[in-house]
Amino acid sequence: MTLFELLYFLGYSIKKGYVAMNQKRLPHQVISIGNITLGGTGKTPATIALAREAKQRGFRPCILTRGYKGKAEGPCFVSRGERPLLNADEAGDEAVLMAEKLGDIPVVKGKNRYEAGMFSLSSLPSALRPDMFLLDDGFQHWALFRDKDIVLIDSSVPFGNRRMLPLGTLREPVKEIRRADIIVITKTDLNRNQHTTAHDLMKELKRYNPDVPIFFAEHSPETFITVEGKTFSLEEAKGKRVFAFCGIGNPQSFRETLLSAGLQIKGFLAYRDHHRYSAGDMQSIKDNAERTGSEWIVTTEKDIMRLRNFSMPENLVSLAIEFTVDEKFYDEVFTFDRVLRT
């Protein structure tokens, strides 16, 4: 561990100890979806899939999110279970995307997730009042007790360079995976030889957490969506010449997903995660697309959330991603050893 990592870890440990001493519990089950690294593990599609499955199994879920980079002060509704009430500048791109995808499930933004949960219970009508909370990006949120911690690990770059912040992407030492109740190794579909790599990773994880159930998930391309909302199937998109760009945690995985869908990538721009686009960025993207003779400009659904203040070109499309995992994963998530608190 280098000096910079040690200083980070000391600060992290002090904060963790202080906050954990005052940890609070919500009156219903809390399931956390998080990771041990910075971004790029496919957390948002996984959270959306979990919320839908919870609803299908008869729960009334509510998503609690920090709303990263959102300017609105919490707790506040991104959605009351009807439609998005805030934009990406106010709530953050991930929060708005979840609100759009989950029209009938409330999404609450708040730095203090306990307060956000209690706010939802006191503010929502009885038909929408939650009986379960999904904690977005909660593995390091010590202030709130979680009944289950689900940890996602990107199979292509599981721990980055194995350095902690600020020299790497690890939020805490790899051994802390021992706290996970469920582990999902994600994006196993992107490389042909990934199966072997993913199983080698599973062996390492078992050394830290021998009894943890481990599942393999795919983040597969689902459909392409135009600015006006028209959809194109993967078959219709195959062979298209595209200029792609994104501002996400793992841009290489987006590139590989486009290639797996059969697109011809004529150019690619990668911005920092959660990049706030400017008019100059949009002009540069348009110019590059024209210069490369691209038929489409392609980006992610999260990036589209941050582009709505601009005049977007008609040939701009976003790629919708589907999280697929063995049904036994959901059985594991929604099976509890104790009775639901009322």
> How is residue 287 written in tokens?
């110019």
Radius of gyration for the alpha carbons in the chain, expressed in angstroms and rounded:
20
- Does residue 240 have a pLDDT over 70? yes
Range of weakest confidence among 29-33, 194-198, 299-303: 194-198
Q: Which helix (H) or strand (E) segment is 242 a member of?
A: strand 241-246
> How is residue 139 written in tokens?
């593995």
The phi and psi torsions of 204 (rounded to 5 degrees) equal -65, -45
Q: Which helix (H) or strand (E) segment is 285 a member of?
A: helix 279-291
**Rounded mean pLDDT of 116-131?**
95
Taking only the tens place, the pLDDT of each residue in 80-114 is: 998 899 999 999 999 999 999 998 999 999 999 99
- What's the CA gap between 180 and 151, in Å, rounded? 6
Taking only the tens place, the pLDDT of each residue in 27-74 is: 999 999 999 999 888 999 999 999 999 999 999 999 999 999 899 987
pTM of the model: 0.92
Q: Which domains can be identified in the chain, with CATH numbers? A: 17-218+324-333 (3.40.50.300), 222-321 (3.40.50)
pLDDT > 90: percent of the chain: 75
Residue 194 has a pLDDT of 52
Q: How far from 290 is each of 142, 189, 267, 294, 317, CA to CA, in Å?
A: 48, 31, 10, 6, 15
- What's the CA gap between 319 and 302, in Å, rounded? 10
